[in-house]
């Protein structure tokens, strides 16, 4: 019994085969990052067209990697939101068509639930209650998963998502898209204590990253000789100082959420959870507070295995969907 899972919400075309025991039998991710890098960010129209070109090949590769191929597939899971409308349409239409042709049921999955349940692929024993810090290009949410299907939003960003802040600061520093991994790399050679940047801690577990981004802009303007690029050593210090401020803010709110809820476990998921500094700092600060799970980097950034994991959770709880799927670009659900 396995689900074929499909993910096309942003700029990764991905397919995976996941057993009901959550074993990942195959997981293929075709990133479009190189194409969008030329434009400094994701171009929605281009992304949708590339999904259309690649989805069949990526899905065939995921199935070919599994003994038995289609024979072991008992249903199809696909991301139906949140994400770019045109991109979501490619994935859901393809999933509906495949399922229809094969007589298989489909389940529409929230991309955000996918990020959360990626943690269960890394740690099969993960069960509610737990606190989740969800950090991606579009979200910075703290949630309390009280029970299966019962999720309370504790707090969220009031402006930029933290991944968006990494991407924008990278651009200020002349680093390539996607900015998160570029800052992660650059910061390794820098001094995180060189520049003291704002670490806003808002009430109700709120986050705000636009002030931090603006502070980096002023700092870069001050440090740059005229219009010349930053000296590489200075740039590394700015990257490290920005990253330290962002990571400190995230960890402070995560600690507070664990303390307030009394949750015995916590997870950090989403693309930014692959950040080395965040992983190290959160691991240190959660010691003695809660059992912390951070999935390996390839399960933090967008992939279809996480959609399969969330798909199984939904199927167990409320079964497959009836009829064709609708996309919801603004879907805010974690269930
Ligand atoms: O979850 P994800 O792959 O896609 C969305 O659902 O948004 O997250 C993408 C975000 C981007 O903003 C990217 O810059 C950031 O995750 N990211 C990182 C790292 N790897 C990816 N941010 C900081 N450090 C990283 N190593
Ligand atoms: Zn994502």
- pLDDT by 10-residue block (mean), the chain, 335 residues: 98 98 98 94 97 98 98 98 98 97 98 98 96 97 98 98 97 95 97 97 96 97 88 97 98 98 98 98 98 98 98 98 94 96
Task: Give the number of other CB atoms < 10 A from CB of residue 288.
Answer: 5
Question: Whose C-alpha lies nearest to ligand 1, atom 2?
Answer: 271
Residues 6+ away with beta carbon under 8 Å from 271: 135, 136, 137, 163, 180, 300, 301, 302
CA of 303 relative to ligand 1 center, distance in Å = 12
Closest residue by CA, ligand 1 atom 13: 180
Question: What pLDDT does 227 receive?
Answer: 80
Residues within 5 Å of ion ligand 2 by Cβ?
Answer: 136, 302
11 alpha carbon, closest ligand: 1
- Please work out whether the CB of residue 48 comes within 6 Å of at least one atom of ligand 1: no
Q: Residue 2 forms beta bridges with which residues? A: 19, 73
Q: Of the candidates 333, 310, 327, 299, which has an alpha carbon nearest to the alpha carbon of residue 48?
A: 327
Q: How many CA atoms lie within 13 A of 99 on its CB side?
A: 26
Confidence (pLDDT) at 167:
96
Predicted pLDDT of residue 50: 98
CA distance 223 to 267: 37
Give pLDDT, residue 322.
92
Q: Which of 82, 88, 75, 103 is nearest to 19 (CA)?
A: 75
The number of CA neighbours under 13 Å toward the Cβ of 302 is 28
Q: Is the CB of 272 under 6 A from ligand 1?
A: yes
Nearest ligand 1 atom to the CA of 164 is: 12
Q: Is the CB of 181 under 6 A from ligand 1?
A: yes
């Amino acid at each position: 019994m396995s689900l074929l899972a499909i993910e096309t919400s942003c700029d990764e075309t991905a397919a995976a085969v996941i057993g009901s025991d959550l074993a990942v039998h195959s997981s293929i991710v075709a990133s479009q990052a190189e194409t969008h890098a030329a434009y400094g960010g994701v171009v929605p129209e281009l992304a949708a067209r590339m999904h259309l070109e690649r989805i069949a090949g990526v899905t065939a590769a995921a199935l070919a990697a599994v003994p038995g191929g289609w024979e072991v597939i008992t249903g199809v899971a696909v991301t139906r939101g949140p994400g770019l409308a045109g991109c979501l349409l490619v994935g859901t239409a393809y999933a509906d068509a495949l399922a229809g042709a094969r007589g298989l049921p489909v389940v529409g999955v929230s991309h955000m639930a996918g990020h959360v349940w990626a943690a269960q692929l890394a740690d099969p024993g993960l069960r509610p209650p737990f606190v989740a810090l969800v950090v991606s290009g579009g979200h910075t949410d703290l949630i309390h998963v009280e029970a299966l299907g019962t999720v309370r939003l504790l707090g969220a960003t009031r402006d930029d998502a933290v991944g968006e802040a990494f991407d924008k600061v990278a651009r200020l520093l002349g680093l390539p898209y996607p900015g998160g991994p570029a800052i992660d790399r650059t910061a390794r050679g820098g001094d995180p204590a060189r520049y003291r940047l704002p670490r806003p801690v808002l009430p109700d577990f709120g986050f705000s990253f636009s002030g931090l981004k603006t502070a980096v802009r002023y700092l870069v303007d001050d440090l740059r000789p005229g219009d010349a690029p930053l000296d590489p050593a200075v740039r590394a210090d700015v990257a490290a100082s920005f990253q330290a401020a962002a990571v400190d803010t995230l960890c402070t709110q995560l600690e507070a959420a664990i303390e307030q809820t009394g949750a015995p476990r916590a997870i950090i998921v989403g693309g930014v959870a692959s950040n080395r500094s965040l992983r190290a700092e959160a691991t240190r600060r959660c010691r003695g507070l809660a059992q912390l799970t951070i999935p390996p980097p390839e399960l933090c950034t967008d992939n279809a295995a996480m959609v399969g994991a969330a798909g199984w959770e939904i199927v167990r709880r409320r079964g497959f969907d009836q009829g064709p799927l609708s996309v919801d670009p603004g879907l805010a659900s974690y269930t």
